[in-house]
């Protein structure tokens, strides 16, 4: 008997990265047949992300620039090949609406994430609409689950699974080709110094900052990065948002500090145990700021320079943030999501939710 098909709809590279561990977990559990879809405005980039993680897209859809086009692409696919369930992540509204229209159950990963902004936010609007059509809401953190309950989503439909960025980071770390190489001049200098002193000297790679912020903070962050780079010659600053995987993951894993207000990039940095600075109000990263693994900084160039210098100068400070870990997953989220999907389709039980994180100073 053939297994029920579950379509995992990736509309962006960040979504694709987080869907791969779920597909692998589904294969391992053997209760449903995962089908990876590459869609969205740049399906080729999505397909390449799957490949970077060691899987290939089963179906690559034509590019869809807007919601209407995305709906049409998924609807055409599902009219001919209707899945038993669809897994979407984040704010991939087109796939979720198309599935809802075809009465296909929707598993929504990273459900309940909100910007926390009081100003109307289009992405939040899409996420709220998606919550209305989702069958099971798979929340990455307790606050996300609370957001859903505040929006009158039925508690029994919400499952705290964690996010799959931790598994994705692990997967990419296993497949990473090479660490950051020291620059040629440094290698040459180390060789000369070794010759002169008569003892071996390892050339050091430059320290790395990965920065990726929304347009709102671009100006102060650019000014701050110019100052930081001018003061510290052994520093490379990379723009992280438009970089393809797996290069982005490799740099994030090697970074001393990641400066971002982008929730996806921050989540990947937290999963890799990096210190994260968040310019602005930190609305979308409240849990990480509370946990101490991310630090909020005022969005002024001077403040950013000071906070960055403090972290770069102190490994203890950076490591203390890194060991706080990510509040958005415990490395078992993909298995929970796969199990929940199978349970929805009548195979086995729903999993237990992600256990609560121990709080500092509280003994259990």
Partner 1 sequence: MDVIGFWTRSWTSDDSTAVRKLLAPDVEVEWNLDAPVDDEELIQVQHRIAAFAETVTVAGETLAEDGATLVYDLVAPFGTARMVEFLAVVDGRITEVRQVYDVTLIDRYFPGLYEN
Backbone angles phi, psi at 354, to 5 degrees: -60, 130
Distance separating alpha carbons of residues 268 and 171, to the nearest angstrom: 12
- Beta-bridged to residue 296, according to DSSP, are 278
Among 1, 80, 120, 155, binds partner 1 (CB under 8 A): 120
297 touches 303 (CB < 8 A)? yes
133 touches partner 1 (CB under 8 A): yes
Residue closer to partner 1, measured from CB, 71 or 312: 71
How far CA 211 is from CA of 54, 217, 220, 252, in Å, comes to 27, 11, 12, 10
71 touches partner 1 (CB under 8 A): yes
78 touches partner 1 (CB under 8 A): no
181 touches partner 1 (CB under 8 A): no
165 touches 248 (CB < 8 A)? no
Among 18, 48, 128, 318, binds partner 1 (CB under 8 A): 128
151 touches partner 1 (CB under 8 A): yes
125 touches partner 1 (CB under 8 A): yes
Stretch that binds partner 1, among 24-32, 121-129, 204-212, 292-300 (CB under 8 A): 121-129
Distance separating alpha carbons of residues 55 and 46, to the nearest angstrom: 11
Query: CA-based angle 268:11:80, to the nearest 5?
Result: 145
137 touches partner 1 (CB under 8 A): no
75 touches partner 1 (CB under 8 A): yes
CB of 303 to partner 1, least distance (A): 32
How far CA 38 is from CA of 63, 92, 251, in Å, comes to 9, 12, 24
56 touches partner 1 (CB under 8 A): no
30 touches partner 1 (CB under 8 A): no
Distance separating alpha carbons of residues 255 and 235, to the nearest angstrom: 10
90-119 residues in contact with partner 1 (CB under 8 A) are 97, 100-101
331 touches 166 (CB < 8 A)? yes
Among 44, 117, 132, 320, binds partner 1 (CB under 8 A): 132
Residues that bind partner 1 (CB under 8 A): 66-69, 71-72, 75, 97, 100-101, 120, 125, 128-129, 132-133, 151-152
């Amino acid at each position: 008997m053939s297994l029920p098909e579950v379509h995992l709809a990736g509309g962006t590279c960040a979504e694709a990265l987080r869907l791969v561990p779920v597909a692998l977990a589904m294969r391992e559990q053997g209760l449903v047949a995962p089908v990876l879809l590459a869609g969205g405005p740049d399906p080729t980039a999505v397909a390449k992300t799957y490949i970077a993680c060691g899987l290939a897209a089963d179906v690559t859809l034509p590019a869809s620039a807007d919601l209407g086009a995305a709906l049409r692409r998924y609807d055409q696919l599902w009219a001919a090949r209707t899945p038993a369930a669809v897994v979407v992540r984040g704010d991939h509204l087109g796939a979720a609406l198309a599935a809802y229209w075809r009465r296909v159950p929707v598993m929504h990963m990273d459900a309940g994430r909100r910007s926390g902004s009081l100003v109307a936010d289009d992405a939040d609007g899409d996420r709220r609409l998606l919550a209305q059509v989702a069958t099971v809401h798979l929340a990455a953190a307790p606050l996300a689950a609370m957001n859903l309950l505040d929006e009158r989503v039925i508690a029994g439909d919400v499952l705290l699974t964690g996010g799959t960025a931790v598994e994705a980071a692990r997967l990419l770390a296993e497949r990473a080709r090479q660490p950051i190489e020291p620059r040629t001049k440094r290698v040459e200098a180390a060789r000369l110094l070794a010759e002169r002193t008569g003892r071996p000297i390892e050339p050091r790679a430059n320290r790395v900052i990965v920065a990726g912020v929304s347009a709102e903070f671009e100006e102060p962050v650019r000014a701050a990065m110019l100052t930081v780079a001018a003061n510290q010659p052994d520093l490379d600053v990379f723009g992280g948002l438009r970089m393809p995987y797996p290069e982005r993951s490799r740099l994030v894993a090697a970074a001393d500090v990641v400066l971002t207000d982008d929730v996806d990039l921050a989540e990947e940095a937290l999963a890799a145990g990096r210190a994260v600075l968040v310019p602005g109000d930190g609305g979308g990263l409240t849990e990480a700021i509370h946990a101490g693994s991310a630090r909020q900084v005022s969005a002024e160039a001077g403040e950013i320079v000071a906070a960055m210098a403090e972290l770069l100068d102190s490994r203890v400070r950076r490591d203390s943030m890194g060991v706080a870990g990510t509040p958005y997953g415990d490395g078992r989220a993909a298995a929970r999501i796969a199990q929940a999907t199978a349970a929805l389709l009548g195979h086995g039980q729903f999993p237990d939710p992600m256990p609560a994180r121990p709080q500092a100073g509280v003994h259990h």
